Structure 1
Amino acid sequence: MKKWGFLLSGGFLVAIIVGILLINQRPNQARQQANRVHDSAPTFYLHGYGGSGRSSDSMIAAAEERGRATKVLTAIVSRTGQVELEGHWTGNTTRPIIQVIYKNNRNANYRQNGEWFKRVLIAVNRQHHFKQFNVVAHSMGNLTLAFYLANNAQNKKMPQLTKFVSIAGHYAGIIGMDDRANQNHLAKNGRPQQINATYRQLMGLRHRLPKNQIQYLNIYGDLSDGSDSDGRVSNVSSQSLRYLVAPRAKSYQEVQFKGSNAQHSKLYENEAVNKAVIDFLW
């Protein structure tokens, strides 16, 4: 009897140990699966007004060098909105990058640009299916994505945005056009006191965005010259993104860069900015 009791107790102990190992293994497996999904999600780079491939070349090169990412495709959007894909995306590529280039790079019709970005997503998804994606945008590229979201944020048939890096976004105006340095101010809740037509059209994002899905990194520059701007976009205009997205965001953070290298067009060539983007995405 003692022998059988010993065997039974021993077997019971083994069962407990196996159970503990299985319980611990499940979270590890879940984390590994989440990492695989995260690393397979493509990141789209959107340039600003008058921009081209050169606008994001240095950022993409930094991501490839430091973030172990790989540029797989260039999506070229014609002046009529047709999408042509150049490059090749293999199935096992980790952290794929897609550079988006608009041939009509001075089209200030943000809503149309947003619809054409939808065509980019559809074209890429036909070639290589993906469920999640990230975006890094500079200047007008931010409005391209914002208007895409305004019309498609609740469209479950489309891939879902999970991370968005906004660089020098002019959500509430551009200095010299519909804004002036130190003219606008933010209320305590982040709402700009002066709202232009573009910002008014985006107000619906506060209710349309998916809850607890998208993580935001808002990067903006300050020349430290008293203008509280990067020379083209006021800090208030860039920071006004918070009021639009924070209520439904998974996370939201802002990073300000100062000095001459924080000038509007220099932000995407700034090494410190590149590091912040890479750390946030990957």
Structure 2
Amino acid sequence: MLVTGAAGRIGLVTVQRLTELGALVTALSNVEHPDLKADRVVIGDTRSEADVADALTGVEYVVHLAALAHPSAGTPYDVYTINVVSTFNVLAQAGARGIRRAVIASSINATGIPFNPHGIRPAYFPLDEKIPADVGDAYSLSKQNDENTARMAWRTWGIDVVAFRFPHVNSPDVLARRAEGARRDPRGGLREAWSYLDTRDAAYAIELGLTASSSGAHTFFVAADTTNAPYETEALLDAFAPDVPRLRRFVGREVPIDLTAARTVLGFRARHELDLPTLHLEI
């Protein structure tokens, strides 16, 4: 099992999870990390054909998490090229070697909505895998093209790929602090649908993606079932997106993202949610 970006926020937890399940894990990282415990650690660059070839030695499955994970993580050129070239390099080499399955980190930002400089809002709620994209930044474009690369790799080499559109993923303490921010000012969470995911649930989703029986290249939204704002979802949408169409109503703090595909195909449901009261929203 190869995990790229193994020293990252999701990578560290994923390596730990897979190791605990008995997998032999090769970790590919561009930096050393004292908490990175794998059977083999390769320090290298996911854009390098030689480094990726070395890391893929003896590997049967791939988890590709390496990326610059925010538009501000580098210049637009760096963010786009590092992310897109890395994903192509990893999937192309894995597919050419006959590796049958990979999981990659896409993002809710593949929609282009959260970081869009023009202040757009979703076309409708709940967000789903078919929602129209409107991309206005290099990071979101890179995630959109990572999903395209997954489809190309499957068509070319027959490697099955699961791409997860992760929301904001973090540790419980950081998620709790963000929830406090959403309590004080919930408006800012609109374009991400007030969604979040615990790193442990991200690793769990990856586990399910690796063991799924589905074939092809598939994209799934994954998130906690509830929002990170202590207000009813209908109240939030009434206040901040009254003119955005709703395809259905939402119960309590239900996250306005359609998680049906991940639930039915993969059996995924988040296990770690924020314990928040439901308050009255006052604007």
Q: Which range, TM-score by smaller chain?
A: 0.3 to 0.5
TM-score norm. by structure 2 comes to 0.41
Larger Rg: 1
